[in-house]
Structure 1
Amino acid sequence: MSVPALAAVVRVDNAKSNVAITFKQMNVPVDAKFKKFAANIDYNAANPETSKANVEIELASFDLGDAEYNKEVLKKEWFNAAQFPKATFVSTGMKANGAGKLVVTGTLTIKGKAANVSFPMTVKQEGANQVFDGTLPIKRLTFNIGEGEWKDTGMVADEVAIKFHVVTTQ
């Protein structure tokens, strides 16, 4: 029995996909990315409410473009990657919100702290591939990212945008 293309677990094309963040340091936007992540997506275009997704991000793959900064953010005050090597997102629901648009809800866990989140996502077909794009806004202090002197949001803002571009392949 073959599974219809509209309702299948899809493979992620890691070469074309990315997870990045933007935050402000001293009121200047800073972009960074995670080099390693895995996503499992079971997407049903005909019935998005039955769709599911989960993502695991390897925190040690965080790249600010500078080796010293990369090492710093893995420390206990920031990601504490030694104790919490991965951040995870597990969807709890997807709802259609217009053509090619979804509202995704789920649980985001970073540094052992879980929070319910909701964000808009777009889905489009490109040939045989599907492309999922979205931005998940979070507050870093909700997840204890930036402890001690780094709790002060005057230097590093509390608001962080997690941006993802996931391309699937058949």
Structure 2
Amino acid sequence: MFVSSLSSKTTRWLAIASVCVALPVLAATALKTDAAKSNVTITFKQLNVPVDAKFKKFNAQISYDSAKPETSKANVDIDVSSFDLGDPEYNKEVLKKEWFNAAQFPKASFVSSQIKPGAAGKLDVSGKLTIKGKTTDVSFPLTVKKEGTNQVFEGVLPIKRLTYSIGEGEWKDTSMVADEVTIKFRVVTTQ
């Protein structure tokens, strides 16, 4: 009886100790996004001429620990209807079914699955990118730097628009609008 009682107490103690050891691993700090200083832009080519556009509304939830980046997480939701090409008529056009189909798919999202130290002081980020109901695995390098008391996360993610059915029907023709799209982001956060 003493042995079984000791085993039970030892088992409980080990369980408590393992939870306590695991807690620091989960201690990445949740950061608050400064929307006024942050941006998500894209660049693509139309008739071989570079075109820049931006998303005016997005929400980034980042938990980051510089000492243990592998415990960090990032979730980004982008309001597709906030896409801005600089012209109201173009903005209406890209929200239609052939392009973003914003009525059916109002959000695009990225959810990290792994963040780890990479080359040249950058982080290697992997995760799932969902646009227009299509989800793919993506990876990209991420730069993290301090600006005063803020943390700044910057990255570039190249994608192919046709992978996500952006540009259907006659717009599949990549001689008009190139398949290659570069997503650039700068997320400024505070604690």
Same fold (TM over 0.5): yes
| Amino acid in the other structure paired with 2:90 | Y
Match of 1:38, SS state, is: strand
| Amino acid in the other structure paired with 2:79 | E
Give the Cα–Cα distance (whole angstroms) in 2 for the partners of residues 44 and 65 of structure 1. Answer: 37
Consecutive aligned runs of 4 or more in structure 1 exceeding 6 Å deviation? none
Give the Cα–Cα distance (whole angstroms) in 1 for the partners of residues 124 and 178 of structure 2. Answer: 26
Question: How far 1:164 sits from its partner (Å)?
Answer: 0.1
1:7 is aligned to 28
**Runs of 5+ consecutive residues of structure 1 not aligned to the other structure:** none
2:118 is aligned to 97
1:61 is aligned to 82
Give the Cα–Cα distance (whole angstroms) in 1 for the partners of residues 82 and 146 of structure 2. Answer: 29
Cα displacement string for residues 111-170 of structure 1 (whole angstroms, at most 9, x for unaligned residues):
000000000110001121100000010000000000000001000000000000000012
Query: Is the 2:28–2:71 contact (alpha carbons within 8 Å) kept by the matching residues of 1?
Result: no
Give the Cα–Cα distance (whole angstroms) in 2 for the partners of residues 111 and 74 of structure 1. Answer: 11
Structure richer in strand, relative to its length: 1
Residue 153 of structure 2 corresponds to residue 132 of structure 1: yes
| Amino acid in the other structure paired with 2:28 | A
TM-score (norm 2): 0.85
From the CA coordinates, give the structure whose radius of gyration is larger.
2
Cα displacement string for residues 22-48 of structure 1 (whole angstroms, at most 9, x for unaligned residues):
000000000000000000001110011
Q: 34-43 or 96-105, which moves further after superposition?
A: 96-105
2:92 is aligned to 71
| Equivalent residue pairs, number | 166
Structure richer in helix, relative to its length: 2
**Runs of 5+ consecutive residues of structure 2 not aligned to the other structure:** 1-23
TM-score (norm 1): 0.95
Query: Is the 1:119–1:135 contact (alpha carbons within 8 Å) kept by the matching residues of 2?
Result: yes
1:113 is aligned to 134
1:147 is aligned to 168
Residue 87 of structure 2 corresponds to residue 49 of structure 1: no
Match of 2:180, SS state, is: strand
